[in-house]
Amino acid sequence: MRQPRHRWYCKLDIRAFFPSINRQLLLALWRRQLPRLPHAPRVRVCLDQVATAILRQSPIDPPPQASGNRALLAQIPPHKSLFHAPPGTGLPIGSLTSQFFANVYLNELDQFVQHTLKVRAYLRYVDDLVLLGNDPATLSRQRLAIEVFFLRERLGLSLHPHKTVLQRCTQGVDFLGSVVYPHHRLTRQRSVRALRRRLAWFKWLVFGPPQRAVPQPPMGTWQRWLAHHEALVAPGVPTQALLQRMLATLNSYDGVFKHAHTYRLRKHCYHQALGPLQRFFLPDGPDYRHLRIKKAWLLQR
């Protein structure tokens, strides 16, 4: 991005990537790469047997046992659900083998972009792609070639129609949780807003409802945790277990923030956004990269 010839970027997103993978084609691509693995022949045979068993098994056969709120399943768009995928397509999202096979599947795309289109600056993380170039017209032609002449014809995939971004690098690239500029990185505002909602909910949990209603963030594991643990010793006094739980959440956000240029944001979060929760925590260093619980609260019974 800092090079003069990389003034523009084109960001692409593959639509419904994992549910759209053709498993038979993936198996053929895997076997094309198999002889290149640096293993003995008998090891490669074993690897191929495992890969074949995985790719020939439908991820929804046998049907999974549903748990939790089944109404949430209805909120999943059909094109993102394996239950609506055509026969022979789709890999389960989150499986470690799916992440590996995703790179096997899109290796063909990587080779096309680098060796056929001759794109010198190209990034891909699973189904998110970024191409850098000197002018928007060239990037538009490359985007068209990727979608029409390769993804559709060779891999049975398509680009998301509403997630293509073509603009100057000075406007920032929203990629992997950060907005990347030529000389610095910032955290997404979506992540900052999520932290603020979480902090508002923590304050409500410890100190009671404020004057205005607090929109609860997605509960997830918190809901299950609160069902089995005491949250407060007394009004305004959290248990050590709750403090540890809140600390883990806050430090997870700091872990995201520290990968960008966010010193002032981290400082503001501690001195301003924490509010009354500040009495329980201290920054573990002058850079505010993570927090720790004050000793006085660790000694309470």
Number of neighbouring beta carbons within 10 Å of residue 81: 15
Number of neighbouring beta carbons within 10 Å of residue 209: 10
The rounded distance, in Å, linking the Cα atoms of 169 and 191 is 21
Structure confidence by residue, pLDDT tens digits, 122-152: 999 999 999 999 999 999 999 999 998 899 9
Structure confidence by residue, pLDDT tens digits, 100-122: 999 999 999 999 999 999 998 99
- What tokens appear for 220 in the block? 């997830």
Burial of 202 (0-12, 13-18, 19+ CB in 10 A): buried
**What residue has token string 């000694």?**
299
What pTM, to 2 d.p., does this model score?
0.81
**Sequential pLDDT tens for the chain (301 residues):** 778 789 999 999 999 999 999 999 999 999 999 999 999 999 999 999 999 999 999 888 888 777 777 777 778 888 888 888 889 999 998 888 999 999 999 999 999 999 999 998 999 999 999 999 999 999 999 999 999 889 999 999 999 999 999 999 999 999 988 999 999 999 999 999 999 999 999 998 898 876 566 666 656 788 888 888 888 888 889 999 999 999 999 999 999 998 899 999 999 999 999 999 999 999 999 999 999 999 988 876 5
Checking phi first, is residue 118 left (phi over 0); if not, alpha (psi -120 to 50) or beta? Answer: left
DSSP state of 73: G
